[in-house]
Structure 1
Amino acid sequence: MLRILFLALCGLLTHTRADPGALLRLGLDIMNREVQSAMDESHILEEMAAEAGKNRPGVKPIKGITNLRVKDVQLPSITLNFIPGAGIFQCVSTGMTITGKSFMGGNMEIIVALNITATNRLLQDEETGLPRFKSEGCEIILVSVKTNLPSNMLPKVVHKFLDSTLHKVLPSLMCPAIDAVLVYVNRKWANLNAPMPVGQMGTVKYVLTSIPTTTASYIQVDFSPMVQQQEGNTIQLADAGEAFEFPEGYAERSSQLLLSATFLTAELALLRKSFDVNVHDVKIGQLPPQTTKTLAGFIPKVSKAYPKSKPLVTQIRINKPPKVTMRTGNSLLHLHGTLEMFAARRRGKAPVSLFLLESHFNLKIQYSVHENRLQMVTSLDRLLSLSQESSSIGAFNEKKLTGFITDYLQEAYVPVINGALQVGFPLPDFLDMDYDLAELGIVENALVLDLKLN
């Protein structure tokens, strides 16, 4: 009984997996491009044809034909279809001419049209953790055969000779082409789980959550991204609480990448220190001069403490991790922190604190992609709360500062945030994907990139 319970528990643990922080759906658009480009880049059919006439270890010569050559290999036409739970069914349609000396002594020429079919099973490499295609069940299907063998030969003799010749030549010649093409495709996954830098603050690494799954319409790859600080500490993705999923309505055969709000939150945590700032400037954008005189217009007690106007120094510190939230068509960055204002003094003397406020405000986020990195630009949404923590000038109503602080955040602080965000965030590096062409949309709890081809 204990043994049964132990095995059941192990089974549950084996099938438990972390919630993915990013989802990738690969449609036939991208897979068709990759297989076709691999076929073109490898020139594999031409190479196989060149090898056909050479003596190869373990391959017996074909009886009745000498000086075997393969020429005039046609450009292949490739058809792919997804096989649920398995991978991709691949059919390569091509043609070629096989020449040589026949058993009758004359020059022989066989013009063949054929289909090469195989199932490309999608696996996860045990050593690297990367997706990997492996071909199974390669078959050669003859579509048509034409020959210049003499017409006075007995049809059965011709058929037997052709059947023997083609079934010995074609499988060993063409099936390795499928494997060679997959080698090219698999190479383009090689950098997928390599750590990618986020400036000098840390790295992001896309790790597969589980073996990719195949449906009738797409391959889905689930990622559990690792966000790591420069010091080596890993930033854990928070429990999403709410599920995120691909929206409906995308074109058939298309591909999408989904990035969860919790994943973007973890990435922004790398920049948290960059969000802390000391502002000494008196003149900032369209704001009035940053002096105690201006501040006294909102808090009269300031003029009593500082009859002679002094420059202001403002210190903003973010004391909670930044958080990204997403609702359809809208994304916000939530920031909690302190805002402390000081009156500057002569050189060599530390400024004097006037007051310290706790604040919570939201920034609207606009997303784009540049040079395959996710970019964010923010603008102030609203100041949600403002509370007084301490004051050297006596108690005052901090709500009177709402307008002043709101304008200050937009003019002085938002540019600091946007400057830090210019570093950009890396996207999964696979299959030579050009993310700059993607169309971006915001859905519930996630950012979706609708991937496009050149």
Structure 2
Amino acid sequence: MKMLKLFGILFFCGLLTPSQEVLSGLSCAVSPGAMRNVLSGAILQNGLLQQHLQSLVLPNIVGEGGLLNAPISITGLHLLKAQFPELSVMLLPGIGVQMTIAAKLELRGNSLIGLLSEIINILVDVTITANIKCTNYESGTVQVVIEDCLCVFGAVKIKLLSGLLSLSVNDLVHNQLTAALPRLLCSVINIVINLVNIQLLGTLNAVIPVGTTGTIQYQLASLPFTSGLFLGLDLDGVVQQMGGSIIPHDSSSSALPPLLDKLLLLGLRQSFLNAVLSLLIQGQPQMFTCVPENFSGANQLKEAVMAALPAGCSSCPRTGPLNIKITLSGNPLISLEVNKATLKLSVMIQLFIEHLDGSVLNLLLLKADLGLNVRVSITESRLLLAVSLSSTTFSLESSDVGISNISSLKPHCSNVLVEKLLPLVNGFLSIGIPLPNVLGIQLINADIQILAGLLVILV
């Protein structure tokens, strides 16, 4: 059979060894069971194979051997019904994927045996096996090659209404049918797999919005590879600000844990998560007046600021509204350790007085370095992060009125951050990080593992 080349998808592909390139972004391991589910759903359950088998044009069967060696002619032979009791997948290390489909075909046509014309039904059991691999990776695409498509026939049962059927007719139909069907069936398999390729490619190479701040472009990063236990895929995740530049993230090597009895393993590297977080956590400075209506510790903070003013400062205001401005400083950085995720975030806290003429007196400018505990969950194919305050380190950046001791201010400023900043950050994070829909496998009841430098999702 002529080798047919198909373009577009990767899940069937195999190489001798895993990709040697160090990649940033995501890595996936897909089990044979998951691939069987994906292919069965796309090819059988959706009726795709049935639909294309209906268009089979079978050759006429002609010969001698009917009653009294009368001529035999079977015409208009077509598929009446097909059943597919089984589809199986085997990973071939260093080769690719072997897909096997068991089919029961019911054919019908018009028969003329001698002078007797009637309807003929033919029942065929056949097992179709195709070895499939890929090559020639380029810019997110691969070339898929289908090899060694074989058809193994089981029982072939022939029924006439009259029941008059000689052994020679049976042999003639069997021989001509089993000679013609492999080429036709393998051609249909190629067409169907090509359509499935196009369908599943969209689950890997896709641009997904991240709220209104930017996008993530997922793309196949290299040739897939197969072992006897899983199909391995590496994806790049290009993080881009809306209408702006790409946010870079460095490459890092991370070993995936065993897939065990799971269908899919999706590993997100720390550097990729940091790029997405810098897209999520951004916003205008928060400005508000230090009054109880805005946060619970307002009076205590104001009293602490007034107490910290130098005793001999004649220009220091002792009354009037105190204003607060909180500004994000630098990019957030997530750190992944075994069973632990923390987020480092820096902000500038300005305490100031605004005079009637619009001028500003900077009482204090503090830098706060926050350590945040991160909780991770999955909802509707999005990775959700939520943070709580673990630690805060304050440093004095400047003071126009000569404040030098900030020790009494620290607990009150921490309260401000908990009440005003953390809800804002968690609001940013509630958008979630959209995840690739790898081969259409749903992230339902997913388990999450946190390893050194790697966040792992298991389904």
TM-score by length of 1: 0.82
Output the amino acid matched with 1:334.
K
Q: Secondary structure of the equivalent of 2:62?
A: coil
AA paired with 1:135?
Answer: I
Which residue of structure 2 aligns with residue 400 of structure 1? Answer: 408
- The aligned counterpart of 1:72 is 81
For the residue of structure 1 that corresponds to 2:229, the secondary structure is: coil
- Relative distance call for 1:423 and 1:46 in structure 2 (3 A) is closer
From 125, 132, 141, give the equivalent of 2:152: 141
Structure with the bigger RCO (C-alpha within 8 Å, sep 6+) is 2
For residues 197 and 142 of structure 1, the distance between their equivalents in structure 2, rounded to whole angstroms, comes to: 50
Cα drift, residue 410 of structure 1: 1.4
Q: Structure 1 residues 341 and 288 mapped into 2: Cα distance closer, same or farther (>3 Å)?
A: closer
Tell me how far apart the structure 2 counterparts of residues 271 and 67 of structure 1 sit (CA, whole Å): 63
Contact 2:290 2:298 in 1 (8 A): no
**Range that drifts further, 413-422 or 315-324:** 315-324
User: Which residue of structure 1 aligns with residue 451 of structure 2?
Assistant: 443
Distance 1:146 1:430, change over 3 A: same
The structure with the greater share of residues assigned to strand is 2
- The 1-side partners of 2:107 and 2:49 are apart by 13
- 1:262 matched to which residue of 2? 271
Which whole-Å CA distance do the structure 2 matches of 1:406 and 1:302 have between them?
25
Which residue number corresponds to residue 368 of structure 1? 377
1:142-196 residue CA offsets vs partner (Å, 9 max, x unmatched): 12223347788456x6435412222213531454135314412431222533332
Q: 1:300 to 1:144 in 2, by over 3 A?
A: same
Structure 1 residues 97, 366: CA separation in 2 closer, same or farther (over 3 Å shift)? same
Aligned partner of 2:36: which letter? Answer: N
Q: Give the corresponding residue for 2:198.
A: 186
Kindly indicate whether the alpha-carbon contact (under 8 Å) linking 1:293 and 1:310 is maintained by their aligned counterparts in 2: no
Q: Alpha-carbon deviation of 1:202? A: 1.9
8 Å CA contact 2:363–2:403 kept in 1: the answer is no
Query: In structure 2, do the counterparts of structure 1 residues 302 and 209 end up closer, same or farther at CA, with 3 Å as the change threshold?
Result: farther
In structure 2, C-alpha distance between the alignment counterparts of 1:263 and 1:191, rounded to whole Å: 19
1:338 and 2:338 are equivalent in the alignment: no
CA RMSD, 1 decimal: 3.0
Q: Which residue of 2 aligns with 1:289?
A: 299
Preserved contact between residue 131 and residue 186 of structure 1 (Cα < 8 Å): no
Residues 239 and 176 from structure 1, CA distance in 2 versus in 1: closer, same or farther, beyond 3 angstroms?
Answer: closer
Distance in 2 of aligned mates of 1:81 and 1:340: 63
Q: Which runs of 5+ in 2 are unaligned?
A: 1-18, 64-73
Alignment of 1:311-350 (within 5 A): 311-346=321-356, 349-350=358-359
User: Where does residue 260 of structure 2 map in the other structure?
Assistant: 251
User: C-alpha distance in 1, partners of 2:89/2:28?
Assistant: 19
Cα distance change on mapping 1:124 and 1:400 into 2, 3 Å: farther
Q: Label 1:253 to 1:416 Cα distance change in 2 as closer, same or farther (>3 A).
A: closer
The answer to whether residue 115 in structure 2 is matched with residue 111 in structure 1 is no
Q: Distance in 1 between matches of 2:82 and 2:205?
A: 38
Aligned residues between the structures: 424
Partner of residue 96 from structure 2, selected from 87, 91, 94:
87
d(CA) in 2 for partners of 1:73 and 1:324?
Answer: 54
Q: Which moved more, 1:145-154 or 1:29-38?
A: 145-154
Q: What residue number does 2:61 align with? A: 62
CA contact (8 A) 1:112 1:143 kept: yes
Structure 2 residue aligned with 1:26: 30
Which residue is equivalent to 2:428? 420
- Determine if the alignment matches structure 1 residue 97 to structure 2 residue 97: no
- For 1:36, which of 40, 45, 52 is the aligned residue? 40
What 5-or-longer segments of structure 1 have no aligned partner? 1-14, 55-59
- Counterpart CA distance in 2 for 1:447 and 1:300 is 47
SS at 2:192 equivalent: helix
Q: Which moved more, 1:138-147 or 1:171-180?
A: 171-180
1:50 maps to 2:60:
no
